[in-house]
Amino acid sequence: MSSEALTTIPLTSLPRLSQGKVRDLFALPDDSKLLFVTSDRISAYDVILKNGISSKGLILTLLSAKWFEVLSSKVPGLKHHFLSLTPPPAPSVVTPDERQMLRGRSMTVRRLKIFPIEAIVRGYVTGSAWSEYEKSQTIHGLPQPAGLLCCQRLPQPIYTPSTKAELGDKDLNITPDQARAIVGEKYASRIEELVLACYKAGVAYAEERGILIADTKFELGLDEETDEIYLVDEVLTPDSSRFWSKADYQVGRQQDSFDKQVLRDWLTSNGLKGKPDVLLPPEVVEKTKARYMEAYEKLTDKTLEEALKSLE
Ligand code: ATP
Ligand code: MG
């Protein structure tokens, strides 16, 4: 496991289709598939930091793969995009060095048409939902019971979609009805039902391991040939979710985020919140990495090293 953070993915043998905040997508010889590669880039307050967190890409990839397996066994009828952790063959498709670099940080996935919403599910009232609730007793426009405290568990998890903004823009919270208009009547209910089922299954699994998943963002795709909906992207990772420590949880106050708190605290106390090109000091990098590792180990019952070995 290298201690160098990989902020750019050194892969030139395959055409790069897109680059997001954290991932690069590559075309594969079979054009019904994609290579989904996770870098060590990290963002906070919507900006990408200059240095990465080494091994973060491995953690997010292997954690998502674990969740696809767990959720498949718990959510009847669930379809997902994940096909394999095995990198493409060398030297026919990628070079031997590229193949080594991809090990543990790449997934071969089904190439699907992505629904242009973020299918957020919330189990607790926090973040932008708490701000909205304080003002209007609603969350994404949905009326809520009176008297909820900051970070309180909701009576039921709720589906609270947002728009999916282009890189650099902000996602906007919308109501389920607005999401229905975006994804189409035909798919809206199935999407809602699927993500609520995935969230509930994930929450139960994580809670047994000491982690509360306060909220999370799922993405969905459509196989246009079969008209079936698939769970895509990363799943229930610390980047796509708010993880809290169950042992430290207390209703009525803000909670520390399991992974990015060290980073956020350092940015705010140094007046660097939301600023571009910030270079983190080594101790902030190390502490953040330790938090990602801890979440990984708690959720998979394995160390990252053990997981990487089992890939060989
Ligand atoms: P953020 O997750 O912070 O919003 P981002 O959306 O810019 O960042 P990344 O996570 O870096 O993106 O990159 C993943 C991209 O790949 C997303 O745009 C996602 O919609 C897309 N994607 C995920 N799964 C598939 C798939 N199976 N087929 C096609 N595109 C996919
Ligand atoms: Mg993403």
Which atom of ligand 1 is nearest the CA belonging to 240? 2
Cα of 158 from ligand 2 centre, angstroms: 21
Percent of the chain beyond pLDDT 70? 99
pLDDT, tens only, 100-151: 999 999 999 999 999 999 999 999 999 999 999 999 999 999 999 999 999 9
Tell the residue nearest (CA) to atom 12 of ligand 1.
Answer: 20
Tokens, residue 39: 């870098």
Q: In the prediction, which pLDDT does 260 show?
A: 87
Q: How many helices and strands in the chain, by DSSP H and E? A: 8, 16
* Residue 200 three-state SS: helix
Beta bridge partner(s), residue 156: none
Going by their DSSP bridges, the two strands 138-139 and 82-84 should be labelled as unpaired
Whether the Cβ atoms of residue 119 and residue 232 lie closer than 8 Å to each other:
no
H helix runs in the chain, sequence order: 56-74, 96-102, 127-136, 176-183, 185-207, 261-269, 282-300, 304-309
- Cα–Cα dist 104/38, whole Å: 9
Cα of 22 from ligand 1 centre, angstroms: 9
Q: Given ligand 1 and candidates 107, 232, 242, 259, which is best to mutate, with the most ligand atoms within 8 Å of its CB?
A: 232
* Statement: residue 63 has pLDDT above 70: yes
Average pLDDT on 191-208 reads: 98
CB atoms within 10 A of CB 217: 24
Q: What single-letter amino acid sits at 62?
A: L
The burial of 83, by beta-carbon neighbours within 10 Å (0-12 exposed, 13-18 middle, 19 or more buried), is given as middle
Q: In the prediction, which pLDDT does 261 show?
A: 87
Cα of 126 from ligand 2 centre, angstroms: 21
pTM of the model: 0.95
- Cα–Cα dist 176/162, whole Å: 9
Q: Which protein residues touch ligand 1 with a CB less than 6 Å away?
A: 20-23, 25, 34, 81, 109-112, 114, 167, 219, 221, 232-233
Which of left, alpha, beta for 139 (phi over 0: left; psi -120 to 50: alpha)? beta
* Statement: residue 11 has pLDDT above 70: yes
Closest ligand to 43 CA? Answer: 1
Name the band, by pLDDT with cuts 50, 70 and 90, for residue 44.
confident
Whether the Cβ atoms of residue 248 and residue 256 lie closer than 8 Å to each other:
yes
Q: In the prediction, which pLDDT does 1 show?
A: 63
- Cα–Cα dist 261/291, whole Å: 9
Cα of 51 from ligand 1 centre, angstroms: 21
Name the band, by pLDDT with cuts 50, 70 and 90, for residue 47.
confident
Cα of 27 from ligand 1 centre, angstroms: 14
Contacts of 77 (CB under 8 A, 6+ apart): none
Tell the residue nearest (CA) to atom 19 of ligand 1.
Answer: 233
Cα of 148 from ligand 2 centre, angstroms: 30
Percent of the chain beyond pLDDT 90? 91
* Residue 69 three-state SS: helix
Which atom of ligand 1 is nearest the CA belonging to 23? 11
Q: In the prediction, which pLDDT does 125 show?
A: 97
Contacts of 200 (CB under 8 A, 6+ apart): 157
CB atoms within 10 A of CB 181: 11
Closest ligand to 22 CA? Answer: 1
Whether the Cβ atoms of residue 299 and residue 209 lie closer than 8 Å to each other:
yes
